[in-house]
Amino acid sequence: MKTRLFVAALFLTIAGIGLFGVLTSPQVTSVAEVSGLVPGDKTRGERMFWAGGCASCHARPKTEGEDRLVLAGGLELKTPFGTFVAPNISPHETDGIGSWSVTDLANAMRNGVSPDGRHYYPAFPYASYVRMENSDIADLYSFLMTLPATNGRAPDHKIGFPFNIRRGLGLWKLAFLSKEQVFMPGNNNTEAEKGRYLVEGPGHCGECHTPRNFAGGIDKSMWLSGAPAAEGDGKVPNITSGEGGIGDWSANDIAYFLETGFTPEFDSVGGAMTSVQRNMAHLSPQDRSAIAAYLKSVPPLASSSPK
């Protein structure tokens, strides 16, 4: 009897390990899905670069002007799960992503998987980038490869057990990685729909402006209602039209803020949003207006993060 119980327990253990392996295995985009998109268009890729906020995390902290195109990494994001450090994504062959193919970039951005098959931590906002079109990623790849190749690797993440076991991120992805849009603007609002793609996809606004649950997944029921700042102290504001949000801002006010950094009260942008606003200033007036139209269409919610 004991032998049978032991064999049964051993079988269940092996089966459980096997199931864990299957469920947590990295899912990847095939070469065939993106091969027809190469070479991408670097001019359109620059638009994706600024919309995606690449410089905000991957340029050296506190850099200005053209130095924001030097993507050496180094920004620290302090979270309850540890401190994550943005890596070098310049086209350096060994220290950056110069050896990557466009398929490698697509897998990193849409699936959170490295070229060597490891899960990336969702501090890299692939949970938003998963909504991007492969064509936009191909264009971004083309632009990134024109930027300065910079040597030097950023420091490693500072993460303790059990969060340093990357394989478990496969379960996180099963729970929280989805291509589905968060909110569909109604009434055939084509401008707001264009803004939805920019906000929910490359712009990844929800990654900072939406609270997270105990596992670090975005609480979509509280979409854009504010959250604690990822950099440590402070909060990220509510950008819905609900209480504590930006309900008294017009769409033109929002677009103007994204262009200039000035609020309707003539206060100026501050904190981490300073870098984001600089990115948005590089977009076209049409893109900024589309983002504003989407934000005005999002259901109003009271601020989830206290002032």
Position 35 in a domain: yes
pTM, rounded to two decimals? 0.87
pLDDT band at 6 (very low <50, low <70, confident <90, very high): very low
* Residue 149 within a domain: yes
> What pLDDT digit, counting tens, does each position of 167-205 carry?
788 899 999 999 999 998 877 889 999 999 999 999 999
**Which residue among 176, 206, 226 closes a domain?**
176
**Tens digits of residue pLDDT in 276-301:** 999 999 999 999 999 999 999 999 99
CA distance 275 to 254: 16
164 vs 249, more confident: 249
1 in a structural domain: no
Is the pLDDT at 39 greater than 80, yes or no? no
Asked whether residue 278 is domain-assigned, the answer is: yes
Give pLDDT, residue 34.
59
Are 167 and 214 found together in one domain?
Answer: no
Q: How many domains does the chain have?
A: 2
Q: What is the reported pLDDT for 140?
A: 97
To which residue do tokens 């992503």 refer? 97
Print the domain residue range for 214. Answer: 190-297
225: domain CATH number? 1.10.760
pLDDT band at 302 (very low <50, low <70, confident <90, very high): very high
The pLDDT > 70 percentage for the chain reads 85
Residue 23 forms part of a structural domain: no
So what's the pLDDT on residue 187? 76
Structural domain ending residue among the three candidates 176, 203, 237: 176
Q: What is the spatial distance between Cα 29 and Cα 280, in angstroms, rounded to a whole number?
A: 29
In a domain, 271, yes or no: yes
* Same domain as 197, residue 171: no
20 pLDDT exceeds 50? no
Encode pLDDT of 117-129 as tens digits.
999 999 999 999 9
Tell whether the model's pLDDT for residue 27 goes beyond 80.
no
In the prediction, which pLDDT does 150 show?
A: 93
Give the residue, 152 or 20, on which the prediction is more confident.
152
- In this prediction, residue 272 carries a pLDDT of 81
Quote the pLDDT of residue 19: 40
97 belongs to a structural domain? yes
> Which position has the token pair 């994504």?
89
Mean pLDDT of the chain: 86
Which pLDDT tens digit goes with each residue over 72-112? 998 888 888 888 999 999 999 999 999 999 999 999 999 99
Residue 15: per-residue pLDDT? 46
Q: What is the mean pLDDT of residues 247-255?
A: 96
- pLDDT reported for residue 33: 63
pLDDT at 208: 92
AA letter at 183: F
- Both 36 and 161 in a single domain? yes
Domain boundary among 176, 203, 229: 176
Does residue 37 register a pLDDT over 90?
no
The verdict on 165 and 250 lying in the same domain is: no
Secondary structure of the chain as H, E, C letters = CHHHHHHHHHHHHHHHHHHHHHHCCCCCCCHHHHHCCCCCCHHHHHHHHHHCCHHHHHCCCCCCHHHHHCCCCCCEEEECCEEEECCCCCCCCCCCCCCCCHHHHHHHHHHCECCCCCECCCCCCHHHHCCCCHHHHHHHHHHHCCCCCCCCCCCCCECCCCCCCHHHHHHHHHHHCCCCCCCCCCCCCHHHHHHHHHHHCCCCCHHHHCCECCCCCECHHHCCCCEECCCCCCEECCCCCCCCCCCCCCHHHHHHHHHHCECCCCCECCCCHHHHHHHHHCCCHHHHHHHHHHHHHCCCCCCCCCC
